[in-house]
């Protein structure tokens, strides 16, 4: 049985989709795990652009058959990246979000757990119905934020509004650089959580990823690429200690 990892953020613009796509590519190409990414951001998702893919299908195509999802449904609906990552893209129009219920999302998570060692959910920003449902359905939660007061306050309120349980939660601090108003240790203390990674400001790597659809974690040896590979190792170490995952694998550089 595979594990489902949710990538969340309380505030937009913190790099959630970039981190989700890069993690997916590294899990698939670097660690050699069967990996899928589901972009839940109807109408607004950018995972296909960040991977330079042109999907013909999306998750709304699976909603009519969620009661009987089979491997062939997933194969037909996903698009494979050169890294081996399988993307289930978001619908083109935002109003499709209304058709995604907690029950259908749960069915998707169950089907992907059975077919993939790792499934990432790129969850919409904020506290909508699907956000809350995803928070409870996933086996591990990554919460992204940036080192500024608006993101820190939004993340604190976000975390406090969600019920707690024993599933792993990791903070990912993105766009951290010299002169940031808060330090990683202060963020851990303020939010009462563990930082899985501190990702540096690396605008050239981000622009190259956005412009050419090439995950920087696979292309860049240092900087942001290296930090994202480090995050992937931390996530896998936590996953291997989790009761939810029964896969073995090699942690590679």
pLDDT tens-digit profile of 176-201? 998 999 999 999 998 988 999 999 99
DSSP 3-state assignment of 76?
Answer: helix
Ranges of H-type helices in the chain: 16-25, 47-50, 71-77, 102-115, 129-137, 149-161, 184-191, 203-212, 216-219, 223-240
Report if residue 176 sits inside a domain. yes
pTM: 0.94
Q: Does any domain span residue 225?
A: yes
- Binned at pLDDT 50, 70 and 90, residue 248 comes out as low
Residue 253: inside a domain: no
Give 66's contacts (C-beta < 8 A, 6+ positions apart). Answer: 103, 104, 107, 108
Residues 136-162 pLDDT 10s: 999 999 999 999 999 999 999 988 887
In a domain, 80, yes or no: yes
The answer to whether 155 and 16 are in contact (CB under 8 A) is no
| CATH for 68 | 3.40.50.300
Structural domain for 39, as ranges:
3-240
Please report whether residue 252 resides in a domain: no
Domain assignment present for residue 56? The answer is yes
Residue 65 domain-assigned?
A: yes
120 within a domain of the structure (yes/no): yes
Number of domains the chain is built from:
1
């Amino acid at each position: 049985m595979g594990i489902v990892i949710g990538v969340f953020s309380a505030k937009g613009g913190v790099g959630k989709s970039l981190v989700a796509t890069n993690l997916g590519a590294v899990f698939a190409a670097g660690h050699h795990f069967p990996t899928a990414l589901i972009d839940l951001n109807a109408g607004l998702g950018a995972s296909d652009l960040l991977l330079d893919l042109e999907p013909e299908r999306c998750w709304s195509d699976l909603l009519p058959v969620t009661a009987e999802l089979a491997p062939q449904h997933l194969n037909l609906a996903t698009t494979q990246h050169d890294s081996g990552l399988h993307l289930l893209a978001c619908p083109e129009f935002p109003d499709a979000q209304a058709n995604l219920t907690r029950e259908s999302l749960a069915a998707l998570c169950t089907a992907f757990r059975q077919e993939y060692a790792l499934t990432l959910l790129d969850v919409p920003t904020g506290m909508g119905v699907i956000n809350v449902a995803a928070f409870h359905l996933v086996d591990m939660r990554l919460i992204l934020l940036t080192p500024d007061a608006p993101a820190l306050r939004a993340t604190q309120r976000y975390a406090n509004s969600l019920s707690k349980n024993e599933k792993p939660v990791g903070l990912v601090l993105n766009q951290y650089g010299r002169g940031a108003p808060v330090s990683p240790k202060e963020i851990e203390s303020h939010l009462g959580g563990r930082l899985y990674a501190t990702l540096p400001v690396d605008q050239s790597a981000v622009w190259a990823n956005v412009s050419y659809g090439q995950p920087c974690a696979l292309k860049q040896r240092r900087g942001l690429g290296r930090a994202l590979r480090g995050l992937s190792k931390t996530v896998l170490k936590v996953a291997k200690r989790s009761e939810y995952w029964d896969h073995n694998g090699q942690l590679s550089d």
